[in-house]
Amino acid sequence: MSGLRERKKAQTRKRLADTAFTLFRERGFENVTVAEIADAAEVAVSTLFAYFPCKEALVFDAEDEYERALTAAVRDRGPDVSILDALEAHLVPVAQPTASGPSGEDFVELVKATPALLDYASRLRHRWEASLAATLAQEVGVPADDLLAKTLARFVLDANFLATYGDHTPDDLKTVFERLRYGWADFGAGRAPDSAAAAAAE
């Protein structure tokens, strides 16, 4: 029963996000109200807000999945794959949103044309930056507030943001990664010991 309930919730969430995106593309983000989205999706406004805290979040409905995939790209990389190689493979080219949703070009075009969405994307970037920095620190075996881990996370996500929403290409982002390798070539070269193995060695 819980599985059916979760599937219905996922379907409602997707219907709301897809409906909102279609209306935003047709009329512009600022010209569509939350009430109109709820009405078009055949749900109550209160239901919409149960799934999305604000209108901007309807566009970035995959933000949690994106954050998980970003950190997993580092955490689940192969034993011979460097941190920078793993991040480059994950971010170039950017695959957002997923194939089941609007095309990536449509998504980027809408965000670039809408200041409120660009601001929301920037705030999300800071949240993802913190998660990535924490993952980098854990993988390398340094304190959670390590400045090098925080700096690398910021460089990577700032570059990705500029490449995605600016007038740049995937090749430009590749060039950034090549430059980063000069300073972070050995960052994470020695994988942090497994926590269980470390505890057993004590």
- Please give the residue that has the higher pLDDT: either 72 or 1: 72
Instruction: Give me the helix-helix angle, 104-112 and 2-27, nearest 10°.
Output: 60
Pair 49, 67 in one domain:
no
Q: Is the pLDDT of residue 93 over 80?
A: no
Same domain, 164 and 147: yes
Is 120 within 8 Å of 113 (Cβ atoms)? no
Q: In which domain, by residue range, is 47 found? A: 2-55
Could you give the CA distance from residue 33 to residue 80 in angstroms, rounded to a whole number? 50
The residue among 11, 26, 55 that closes a domain is 55
The 8-class DSSP code of residue 190 comes to S
User: Where residue 46 sits, what CATH number does that domain have?
Assistant: 1.10.10.60
In angstroms, the CA 168 to CA 175 distance is 11
**Residue 142 contacts residue 84 (beta carbons within 8 Å):** no
Q: Is residue 199 part of a domain?
A: no
Looking at beta carbons, which pairs linking 73-77 to residues 24 or more positions away fall under 8 Å?
74/132, 74/135, 74/136, 74/139, 75/135, 75/138, 75/139
Q: Averaged over 82-107, what is the pLDDT?
A: 73
- Domain of 92: which CATH number? 1.10.357.10
Considering the domain architecture, whether residues 148 and 171 belong to the same structural domain is answered as yes
49 and 126 fall within a common domain: no
Distance separating alpha carbons of residues 145 and 74, to the nearest angstrom:
18
CA distance 106 to 85: 28
Residues 109 and 141 in one domain: yes
Tell whether 89 and 144 lie within a shared domain: yes
Residue 114 pLDDT: 95
C-beta atoms surrounding 21 within 10 Å: 21
| Confidence band, pLDDT 50/70/90 cuts, at residue 141 | very high
DSSP at 142: -
Q: 155 with 104, same domain? A: yes
Check pLDDT > 60 for residue 137. yes
Q: Are residues 94 and 166 in the same domain?
A: yes
Model confidence pLDDT, tens digit, residues 143-186? 999 999 999 999 999 999 999 998 888 889 999 999 998 887 77
Shared domain for 96 and 171, answered yes or no, is yes
Q: Examine the pLDDT at 201 and tell me if it is beyond 50.
A: no
Q: Give the pLDDT band of residue 66 (cuts 50, 70, 90).
A: very high
Please state, rounded to an integer, the average pLDDT across all residues of the chain: 87
Cα(169)–Cα(73) distance, integer angstroms: 21
Q: Could you say which of 32, 55, 78 is where a domain stops?
A: 55
Residues 148 and 117 in one domain: yes
pLDDT (0 to 100) of residue 97: 42
Burial 66-77 (b: 16+ CB within 10 A, else e): bbeebbebbeeb
Shared domain check, 67 and 44: no
Domain assignment of residue 28, yes or no: yes
Q: For residue 103, what pLDDT band results from cuts at 50, 70 and 90? A: low
Give the per-residue pLDDT at 102: 47
Does position 41 have pLDDT exceeding 50, yes or no? yes
Q: Which percentage of the chain shows pLDDT scores above 90?
A: 72
pLDDT (tens digit, 9 = 90+) per residue, 9-19? 999 999 999 99
Query: 37, 55, 73 — which closes off a domain?
Result: 55
Q: Do 107 and 132 belong together in one domain?
A: yes
Instruction: Work out how many domains the chain is built from and give that number.
Output: 2
